[in-house]
Homo-oligomer: A and B are copies of this chain.
Amino acid sequence: MSDNSDSIQNWSCPLPLPHKDKIVLGHGSGGKMTHDLIKIIFWKYFKNSLLNSGNDAAVFLPTDTKTITGSKFAICTDSHVVSPLFFPGGDIGRLAISGTVNDLSMMGATPYYLTAGFILEEGLEINLLEKILASMQQAAGEAKVNVVAGDTKVVQKGKADGLYINTTGFGVISPGVNISGENAKPGDVVIVSGPIGDHGIAVLTARGELGFETDIRSDVAPLNCIISSIVEASNKIHVLRDPTRGGLGTTLNEIAHQSGVCITIEEATIPVRPAVSSACEVLGFDPLYIANEGKFVVIVDPVDASKVLDVIHANPLGSEAQIIGEVQSKPQDRVLLKTTIGTTRIVDMLAGEILPRIC
């Protein structure tokens, strides 16, 4: 596609928005008001030639992926409905970019392009929308990805909760990289990149549901840079996964099932901040099931475990990483926890719902 970055200037209606402060149904009409909203508000934050072409789809030549032959592609999608929209350490915009960047990263893919689909509720303050878009821009900058296609719909007041954002990601996996949930092998070492449960407790705090204050901030962050550093350092990484909804306990269960192995972890080695631990105790929650948005699990051949741990430690996003366990052949499809009091218990997948709309 030719460069259409100048197409912004081609439009004849750089008028002020007819409804300056709030989203109205007309912003979803597909007509002039939608075009104004996109050009005046959205393009301010996502200016790039692909997005701004004004066509039905973003078109690109995959020239920046030098060795396209032999490479694999990765695609993932994630809708974000977190409540409230802003919480300590982040907001729905940062979450929407990070979540999708991270899902691609966990397959060993380099994220290239993101799309963003917005469902806006009538009455949403444009001010607030702009804050969220600025946060998306910031996170996309950290991750060095571009939002290349977008969509905006508006629903009546009471038919959404402020806004929902879908982000879909497209990435490229270099030849030779084979990281997947079914690759865990007996003997492999299990690493977690830092303290668990921060995101869930931060969102809970923002909802005022804790009944007390905490200084916990969400860990929400794009992890592609730290992931690419460990994938470069070792070709013996078998599994990567970010323990989001469902928490570390559910994530490890998914891997144990996919690989047909047992994952045994030691409670004493799992990093949990004291404030998260206390909050969980008060609420009767297990930190193993609390969501994270800036942590990852690595399952790696023991030969490379300490090298990988060193690389993770060298990055501020992984400075508190720990080896928390290992993979065994039996009992298959199980996660076992060696507790601090010396017993062993089964860690099952999260059964019901403890924290709705955490992401």
Contact = CB atoms under 8 A, between A and B. Distances in A.
A142 interface: no
Interface string A144-167: 000011110111101111001010
A250 B166 contact: no
Contacts of A53: 180-182
A59 B30 contact: no
Nearest to A258: B54
A260 interface: yes
Q: How many copies does the complex hold?
A: 2
A215 B29 CA distance: 25
A270 to B, nearest CB: 18
A103 interface: yes
Interface in A241-290: 241-242, 244-246, 250, 254, 257-258, 260, 289
Interface stretch (A107-115, A124-132, A322-330): A107-115
Residues of A in contact with B, size category: 35 or more
Contacts of A86: none
A29 B350 contact: yes
B55 A107 contact: yes
A334 B113 CA distance: 33
Interface string A221-234: 00000000000000
A75 B150 CA distance: 10
A109 B58 CA distance: 11
Contacts of A26: 352-353
Interface string A166-182: 10111101000000111
A345 interface: no
B77 A117 contact: yes
Interface string A1-43: 1101001001111000000000011101111111100000000
A81 to B, nearest CB: 5
A211 interface: no
Given A4-B258, A57-B75, A59-B73, 18 more contacts: A1-B72, A10-B257, A12-B333, A30-B244, A33-B351, A55-B107, A57-B169, A59-B74, A60-B72, A60-B73, A75-B113, A79-B151, A79-B153, A117-B117, A117-B166, A119-B164, A153-B359, A155-B161
13 contacts: A4-B258, A28-B357, A30-B245, A30-B350, A35-B254, A55-B258, A58-B75, A58-B76, A75-B149, A151-B166, A154-B356, A155-B356, A166-B168
Interface of A: 1-2, 4, 7, 10-13, 24-26, 28-35, 53-62, 68-69, 72-81, 102-104, 106-107, 109, 113, 115-119, 148-151, 153-156, 158-161, 164, 166, 168-171, 173, 180-182, 241-242, 244-246, 250, 254, 257-258, 260, 289, 291, 333, 348-354, 356-357, 359
